[in-house]
Amino acid sequence: MKRHDLVRELVDGGCYLKRHGKRHDIYINLKNGRKAPVPRHSEIKDTLCELIRKQLGLK
C-alpha cells in the first residue's frame, strides 16, 4: 500500500500527526488516545498497515 493512501485513511478515521520522528511519524487517534508509528517508506506492507490500524483502534 502506498504511504499517502494509508495516511489519508488514518486522517479520515480521526487520527492526526502528533510529531515527526527520525524515521517514523507518530500518529494519534483523538477518540481513544492511542498512538502508533508510521514509517516513511513509500510502500508499506499490508500486514504492517493492519497492525497500525489495530494499534490506533481503527477497523
Per residue in 3-52, pLDDT tens?
A: 999 999 999 999 999 999 999 999 999 999 999 999 999 999 999 999 99
Specify the amino acid at residue 33. G
Q: CATH homologous superfamily for 3-56? A: Hypothetical protein. (3.30.920.30)
What is this structure's pTM? 0.92
pLDDT mean across residues, the chain: 96
Residue 59 has what pLDDT? 81
CA atoms of 23 and 27, how far apart (whole Å)? 13
State the CB neighbour count (10 A cutoff) for residue 53. Answer: 17
Residue 11 has what pLDDT? 96
Q: Beta strands 35-39 and 15-20: pairing type? A: unpaired
